[in-house]
Amino acid sequence: MQTLLDVHRIGSWIAVVANALVGLFALAAWQWRRFRGRGLWIATIVAEVLLLLQVVIGSILLSSDDYEIDDIHAFYGFVAFLTVGLAYGYRRSMRGRLEMFYGLVGLFLMGLGIRAMTQVT
């Protein structure tokens, strides 16, 4: 379980940085067409999957009797999980502004990740 906790700690930084970079990349693509394309969406999927993996790893750690966390930390993980699902669900209604939408979602997920990490004692 200690190894899984270490993966969770390191992976959280990777997920936060990935979502920050993808958020900025998507906002740049919203402004400048040359950044649009398959690469943006692959990077977005990778960043969001990294975050969802953090939620899964955190859930596994929480289900063990070895670790306890603050409820607010789990809440931020749940909100991040929910945000990814809601963003996917609302993508059709954001036609023409999809890059802006996913840029803001990426930055929001970055903020949730940072906030979750600050709640660990």
Which DSSP category does 70 fall into?
-
Is residue 59 scored above 70 in pLDDT?
yes
The closest of 92, 107, 6, 4 to 47, measured between CA atoms, is 107
- pTM, whole model, 2 decimals? 0.90
Q: What percent of the chain has pLDDT over 70?
A: 99
Rg for the chain, CA atoms, rounded? 15
Residue 42, Ramachandran bin (φ over 0: left; ψ between -120 and 50: alpha; else beta): alpha
Which amino acid does the sequence have at 32?
W
Using one digit for the tens of pLDDT, what is the confidence trace for 3-58?
A: 998 999 999 999 999 999 999 999 999 999 999 999 999 999 999 999 999 999 99
